[in-house]
Amino acid sequence: MVIFEHPLNEKSRSYLRLEYIFGQIAKSRHLTASSDPEAFFKGILDLHELMERCEIRGDLTKDLEKHLESVNHWATIPGVDLNRIHLLQEQLSKFIYQLPRLSRITQTLKEDRFLSAVRQRFSIPGGLCSFDLPQLYFWLNLSEEEKAADCKRWLADFQPLIGALQLNLKLSRDSSHFNNEVAKNGFYQDNADNADMIRIKISPMLGFYPTVSGHKSRFAIRFLPHGDEQAQDIPFQIASC
């Protein structure tokens, strides 16, 4: 089964994009594959641009506070794992304290001369060649320790944000439940009151993928064929969170 996620508001759109960027950086930061440098620096530059355009710390703090209220309620239910509850309370409280106190979060990336040189060449097709960007070619031939130290320095200011975002999305996803539905002739629409995003689970064996339109609490899903399949009733599962 494949899970597709679609945000229903701009806040969740930013959350999912940041999660994708953080994942891209995490997978490529060790620079072991030939394609890793380009993926890593694209992730770093995308992270800087997105964080310059949107300020999510306020929304993220409010969402974590809501999760903390729910976790505090769970603690009153008999038979719950109190060790797990206390761990969540500590994690949520830590991020709620840290997020509003993060200042100039993109400053390190903005002021780094090496990253500025990479940024100028990145939009040029093939602009990361050694003759276009000898600084990058030199950096890639530094020791593993030196490169790891630079990567750690570039990402240090983002660590609380990364942890807070991952915890928020995990709790949101874990709180939702998938329900079985059928898209008649490939089309389905519904309400998702108080939801930030919908999650769609479908078998790739059916040969269809979902496209979603809508915002806030109203959405519509149309399943399109990957190949030559004809429109038909599509069984799938959906969750709102």
How many other C-beta atoms can be found within 10 angstroms of the C-beta atom of residue 21? Answer: 22
For residue 76, name the pLDDT band (cuts at 50, 70, 90).
Answer: confident
For residue 64, name the pLDDT band (cuts at 50, 70, 90).
Answer: very high
Of 179, 193, 197, whose CA–CA distance to 241 is shortest?
Answer: 197
For residue 218, name the pLDDT band (cuts at 50, 70, 90).
Answer: confident
Backbone angles phi, psi at 130, to 5 degrees: -60, -35
Residue 68 scores a pLDDT above 90:
yes
* Every domain of the chain and the residues it spans: 10-173, 177-240
What average pLDDT does the chain have?
Answer: 90
Selected from 1.10.3900.10, 2.40.10.10, 3.30.230.10, 1.10.8.60, the CATH number assigned to the domain covering 10-173 reads 1.10.3900.10
Structure tokens at 28: 């490529």
Q: What is the pTM of this model?
A: 0.90
* Separation CA 120–CA 139 (nearest Å): 16
Q: Mean pLDDT throughout 155-179?
A: 93
**Torsion sign over Cα 192, 182, 3, 223:** negative
| pLDDT in the model for residue 125 | 78
| pLDDT in the model for residue 34 | 82
Residue 127 scores a pLDDT above 80:
no
Of 18, 45, 39, whose CA–CA distance to 116 is shortest?
Answer: 45
Identity of residue 179: N
* DSSP string for residues in 148-181: HHHHHHHHGGGHHHHHHHHHHHHHHHHT---EEE
Structure tokens at 188: 């389905």
Straight-line distance from the first to the last Cα atom of the chain, in angstroms, rounded to the nearest whole number: 19
Residue 149 scores a pLDDT above 80:
yes
What residue ranges in the chain does DSSP mark as E strands?
A: 2-7, 179-183, 187-191, 197-202, 208-215, 218-225, 234-240
Q: Which of 7-11, 151-155, 168-172, 230-234 has the lowest mean pLDDT?
A: 230-234
| pLDDT in the model for residue 89 | 93
Q: Which of 2-11, 45-54, 121-130, 223-232 has the lowest mean pLDDT?
A: 121-130
DSSP state of 184: B
Percentage above 90 pLDDT, the chain: 59
Based on C-alpha coordinates, what's the Rg of the chain? 21
* Separation CA 42–CA 204 (nearest Å): 29
For residue 197, name the pLDDT band (cuts at 50, 70, 90).
Answer: very high
3-state secondary structure (DSSP) of residue 239: strand
Q: What is the second-level CATH architecture of the domain 177-240?
A: Sandwich (2.60)
Chain segment 80-122, per-residue pLDDT in tens: 888 999 999 999 999 999 998 887 788 888 889 999 888 888 7
* Separation CA 67–CA 50 (nearest Å): 25
Q: Mean pLDDT throughout 28-46?
A: 90
| pLDDT in the model for residue 132 | 79
